[in-house]
Every structure is written in structure tokens, then in C-alpha cells.
């Protein structure tokens, strides 16, 4: 794969970072406003109108894919495989991006201290609500896995499929948190926004590292 990094690429990545940081800021600033709460509650009631025992079972399985346990085990396996293939930089990338992302989410939850919704919780979760850890964590994890395909998979078609699958998992996990009544929709959107911005920072830093390493 071509490792050349252009000014256009750098500017585009910086633009993505600024746009999604701005979106996160706007959401965070108004997250407790009456209009936002009304919007959140309306979306929660709509999604939870589909609650059934069978669907809840599948939603539980989907939300597990965004759990700390699943992501940690998956990262350990992926990192081990990358080390076995002697792709040391990618192994460090997948571990550090997800590890630091988890710490960032903890910090943000502590800063905002938003309580979880209490409309109709299907399950009980502890801790603060904003931004959603499952949403942010799944975006960073599945996004970083999809990014690995750029380096490992040669087929353009397979790369596209990897991004589509990753996007589908990210979306379903976010919706699952609303369905289960443990997050407001704005928690999920906020998690996605800061997750995209953070991932863009990490990818840009990694690309710059690759560029300098090749010189």
C-alpha cells in the first residue's frame, strides 16, 4: 500500500477532528436543556416501543459486543496475531488507541456526571451516562479494526465490506444502549462524535509516524 501522506489528507483529517469536536461540544453544552431532554425521551419511548423478550435477548448479545470484556479480549487476540505476524507498529496502534480511548471516556464521564435515564431501564448499569462508553468504545474498536484492513487486506472490495460491517456493528450497539434504557440518544451521539474525533487524531498520528519511518 502507498504510504504517501499529502497536505490534502492532513487538512481533511484536521477538518474531521474539528467538526466532530465541535459537535461534541454543542451536545455537551446543551445536554441538560429541556429541549434536548424532551428529544431524548421521545426517541427512547419510540425505540422501547419495540421491546419484546425475543428482541431483548438479541439486543443483549449485540450490546455485549461493545462491552469492556469483549473488546479487551478481542484486542488481546488481535494484538497477539499482529505480533506473531511481526506487525509491531499495528499491534501497538490497536492496543494504545483503544486503551487511551477507554481512559478518555472515563474522564469525560467524570467531568459531565450525567445521570442515566430512568424511563424504562431493561437492565441496570452503574456509573455516569455521558458520553456512552459502549458507543464510543465500539466506534474506536471497530473503527480501528477496519483501519487495520487498509494495511492487511489488499482487495478494495474487502476493505469496503470491512468498513460496512464495522459501521453496522457500531450503529447497532449504539441503538442497543437506548433500547435497554441505560443511555440517552445524546449520550450515544456524543460518544460517536468524540470517538470519531479521537480516532481521527490517532489515525493521523499513525500515518505521520509511518511517513517519517519510511523516510
Q: Is 151 a catalytic residue?
A: no
Select which of 109, 114, 177, 183 is catalytic: 183
From 134, 146, 190, 202, active-site residue: 134
Q: Quick one: CA dihedral 205, 209, 210, 215, positive or negative?
A: positive
Between CA 100 and CA 86 the distance in angstroms is 23
Grid coordinates representing 78 are 488481535
Longest CA span, the chain:
58
> End-to-end distance of the chain based on CA atoms, in angstroms?
16
Give kind and range of the element (H or E) at residue 207. Answer: helix 185-214
Q: Which three cell numbers stand for residue 83?
A: 505480533
Which grid coordinates are listed for 48? 422501547
Contact yes or no for 141/71 (Cβ under 8 A): yes
| CA atoms of 32 and 48, how far apart (whole Å) | 21
Q: Say if residues 87 and 156 touch (Cβ distance below 8 Å).
A: no
Q: Which residues contact 123 (CB under 8 A, 6 or more apart)?
A: 60, 180, 181, 182
Q: Show which residues are catalytic.
A: 134, 183
Amino acid at each position: 500500500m502507498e504510504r504517501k501522506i499529502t497536505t490534502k489528507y492532513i487538512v481533511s483529517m484536521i477538518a474531521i477532528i474539528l467538526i466532530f469536536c465541535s459537535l461534541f461540544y454543542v451536545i455537551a453544552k446543551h445536554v441538560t436543556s429541556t429541549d434536548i431532554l424532551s428529544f431524548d425521551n421521545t426517541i427512547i419511548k419510540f425505540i422501547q416501543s419495540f421491546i419484546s423478550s425475543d428482541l431483548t435477548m438479541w439486543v443483549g448479545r449485540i450490546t455485549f459486543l461493545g462491552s469492556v470484556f469483549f473488546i479487551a479480549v478481542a484486542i488481546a487476540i488481535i494484538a497477539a496475531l499482529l505480533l506473531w505476524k511481526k506487525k509491531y507498529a499495528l499491534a501497538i496502534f490497536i492496543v494504545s488507541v483503544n486503551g487511551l480511548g477507554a481512559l478518555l471516556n472515563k474522564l469525560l464521564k467524570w467531568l459531565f456526571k450525567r445521570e442515566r435515564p430512568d424511563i424504562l431501564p431493561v437492565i441496570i448499569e452503574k456509573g455516569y451516562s455521558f458520553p456512552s462508553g459502549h458507543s464510543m468504545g465500539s466506534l474506536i474498536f471497530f473503527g480501528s479494526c477496519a483501519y487495520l484492513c487498509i494495511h492487511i487486506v489488499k482487495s478494495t472490495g474487502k476493505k469496503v465490506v470491512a468498513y460496512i460491517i464495522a459501521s453496522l456493528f457500531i450503529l447497532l450497539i449504539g441503538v442497543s444502549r437506548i433500547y435497554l434504557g441505560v443511555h440517552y440518544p445524546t449520550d450515544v451521539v456524543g460518544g460517536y462524535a468524540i470517538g470519531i474525533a479521537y480516532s481521527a487524531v490517532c489515525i493521523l498520528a499513525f500515518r505521520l509516524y509511518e511517513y517519517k519511518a519510511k523516510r
